[in-house]
Amino acid sequence: MSNRHSIFGVISFLMGLGCGAVILACVGYSTYLEMTTPGGIDEEAPEVILIGLAMLGFMGLSILGGAIGLVGLFESERNKLFAILGTLTCAAVFLAPLALIIIGLAMK
């Protein structure tokens, strides 16, 4: 009899995918705004502030997803595939925008 997948692992993986999709959409939309606005976007515009807050919020949610993935890793008698994938996905979703933020601050 095969072990069933960890429900915490599946939740973590889905959270990582969802957060990654939203963060990617935020980066894409901010890039679109920068390219289509003459002179570049105003950093203090409410739209830009909301994009930044959404990115930070979903980065925080990916930390929660990573913690849920870690819980799935410690479940006994469960398949750990989705727990591993969820933890790695959430880590990547957190670290990639963090790297963009650090690069952006370094260029300023």
Residue-wise pLDDT tens for the chain (108 aa)?
A: 468 999 999 999 999 999 999 999 999 999 999 999 998 888 899 999 999 999 999 999 999 999 999 999 999 889 999 999 999 999 999 999 999 889 989 987
Owning domain of residue 49: 7-107
Q: How far apart are CA 85 and CA 16, in angstroms?
A: 9
Under 8 Å between Cβ of 5 and 79: yes
Is residue 1 in a domain?
no
Is residue 2 in a domain?
no
The structural domain count of the chain equals 1
CA 73 vs. chain centroid, Å, equals 20
- Tally of CB atoms within 10 A around 46: 8
Under 8 Å between Cβ of 47 and 89: no
Across the chain, the runs of DSSP E, i.e. the strands, are none
Structure tokens at 79: 């398949």
